Amino acid sequence: MAKSFGWVILVAVALGVSACARGVSLKSQSEMLVDQARWTVEMFKEGNSEPDQAFRAALKDAQGIVVFPGAVKGAFIVGAEGGNGVLLVRDQNGNWGYPAFYTLGAGSFGLQVGAQSSEIVLVLRTQKAVQAVINHQGKLGGDIQMTMGQIGAGISGATTTNVGADIVGFAHGAGVYAGASLEGAVLARRNDLNQAYYGEGATPQTIVRDQRFANFQADPLRLSLAVN
């Protein structure tokens, strides 16, 4: 029962993030999210911190990437985190495909206080990780069985301790927050955004694997990932 209740809480956090964008059409939301994802990727690529350098190294051999350009954390004893993002995957020729839309939700309990807005990038280092994200929507480290690397905004993040991880996380943040973790975070498909961006029938599988959809508005994001 406790596990089921926790799942409900996490899904509610993930899907509740979209409420902040009411009044803006889904098509506009999706286009803005793709633009913001490109800015996030470029920021990570141009930074000089140790996590930024580790991100650039990880990107060279990445099989896929999930970019959350505006994840928001808030906490007072009970913490919550959420944000919309995009998944992109390399094809057999090493070219980056078009983005599929996801939302992130995470909840935690404990002594914590503060608020923070951050950019989070998950580098999918193996096909196992890519398939898990496409085929399932569930908890990282739970329903999606894989090893998570560290996520941090300082020298403690993205270190060599992540060498064997299927997914390595990187984050930039502004604000004050303690006790954050994405272990147990929910990844959920945003097929409303997928269809607003591409048309009827657009899902992560048909976009990323079947390559049935394209939107040239995403080409700058794909190019920013291709140039190392």
Q: How many structural domains comprise the chain? A: 1
Beta strands in the chain (DSSP E): 64-89, 100-124, 167-176, 186-189
* pLDDT higher than 70, residue 23: no
Mean pLDDT of 59-66: 92
Whether 132 has a pLDDT exceeding 60, the answer reads: yes
**Average of per-residue pLDDT across 10-28:** 60
Measure the CA–CA gap between 84 and 223, rounded to whole angstroms.
Answer: 21
Distance, CA of 225 to CA of 91 (rounded, Å): 13
Identity at 143, one-letter amino acid code: D
pLDDT at 227 over 60: yes
pLDDT for the residue numbered 142: 63
Rounded distance between C-alpha atoms, residue 40 and residue 69, angstroms: 6
- How far, rounded to the nearest angstrom, does the alpha carbon of residue 133 sit from its chain's CA centroid? 10
User: Six-digit token pair at 91?
Assistant: 């094809």
Q: Helices 26-46 and 50-60 meet at what angle, rounded to 10?
A: 110
How far is Cα of residue 93 from the mean position of the Cα atoms in its chain? 23
Q: What are the beta bridge partners of residue 119?
A: 172
Q: Domain limits at 110? A: 2-226
> Both tokens of residue 2?
């406790």
Residue 79's pLDDT band (cuts 50, 70, 90): very low
